[in-house]
Amino acid sequence: MSAITAKLEMGSPAALATTSVVASNTPIARSDGGPIMEVRGVSLAFGGIQALSDVSFELRAGELLAIIGPNGAGKSSIFNCLSSIYTPQAGSVRLNGGELVGRGPSHGVRMGLGRTFQNLGLFDNADIETNLMLGRHPLMSSGFLAAAIWRGKARREEFAHRERVHELIDLLKLREACGRPVSLLPYGTRKLVEVGRALAMEPTVLLLDEPVAGMNREEREHMAETIATIRETLGTTIVLVEHDVGFVMDLADRVLVLDFGRVIQCGDPETVRNDPRVIEAYLGHAADAGREP
């Protein structure tokens, strides 16, 4: 049994305090069994360049959806639309029934959206615990003055958040790397810290932007194991963009394929792997992408 699960089942005060903080900010999965995220007719253009054209798909609670496609297919564009960094000219992105388009990234976080970035966004001079605590910020209710005085509720809240961060550190097997600035850590470890900071937000949906880009074989295998553990332990719904086809096919429940900003296939890995349109557009040229010789 994981530390996180054990503490919740035993009902420890710190775990219950953390749960109450999360519950006030993060929406629960839909009770009617409908999709947790609905993307409808999303179109995005930059001047005369059409990045996305009528992109639609649904995301079910607890699944892992991978988005693949050749360079320039629109993968980063749809990711930025999901996280409200870009505002599409047409279409809708709804999370648990709430609209995300045009509301800004902070609204998405409040609705239960967490995201990593391909080029990382860590505070290099801070250690792992501090970086993950920054991910807890949207869940903190104490004001600046209360936090500065650090008494009563503010102190109890910080202890609860730090305990949750320590549980995530154990979940991601980062304990041995603690205490050092993240700038001194190996690249693969820093990618895990980026995932941990996003998880610290207690997201309903976690967006992973090329989680194994630049990694060697051992680091990729570790990341795959970590993502599987996150799904099993936390039940987090995941959307990832990745070029490593083998990595995607081993992990994903469904794969969505983009080409020139349009969806050409969305289905289980086996269906996608054997689709002639996908082979022509991408797989025939990228079967070994991201793999070592």
Whole-number percent of the chain with pLDDT over 90: 61
What is the mean predicted confidence (pLDDT) over 108-127? Answer: 89
Instruction: For 205-238, give the DSSP string.
Output: EEEEESTTTT--HHHHHHHHHHHHHHHHHH--EE
Strands 90-95, 37-46: pairing kind: antiparallel
Report which of residues 132 and 11 the model is more confident about: 132
pLDDT at 143 over 70: no
Q: Among 225, 226, 258, 260, which Cα is nearest to 242's? A: 258
**What was the pLDDT predicted at 199?**
94
- Collapsed DSSP state (helix, strand, coil) of residue 99: strand
Asked if residue 6 has pLDDT above 70, the reply is: no
Q: How confident is the model at residue 139 (pLDDT cuts 50, 70, 90)?
A: low
Please write the tens of the pLDDT for every residue from 214-247.
Answer: 899 999 999 999 999 999 999 999 999 998 888 9
- Mind listing the domains of the chain with CATH numbers? 3-286 (3.40.50.300)
Query: What is residue 28's predicted lDDT score, i.e. its pLDDT?
Result: 42
Rounded mean pLDDT, 15-29: 34
> Is the predicted pLDDT of residue 113 greater than 60, yes or no?
yes
pLDDT of residue 149: 54
For the chain, what's the residue count? 293
First to last CA, the chain: 38
Answer for the pair 260, 73: CB distance below 8 angstroms, yes or no.
yes
Written as six digits, the tokens of 103 are 């509301």
What CA–CA distance (Å, rounded) separates 213 from 216? 9
Beta bridge partners of 45: 50
pTM for the whole thing?
Answer: 0.80
What is the C-alpha radius of gyration for the chain, rounded to an integer number of angstroms? 19
- Helix axis angle, 152-171 to 187-199, nearest 10°: 130
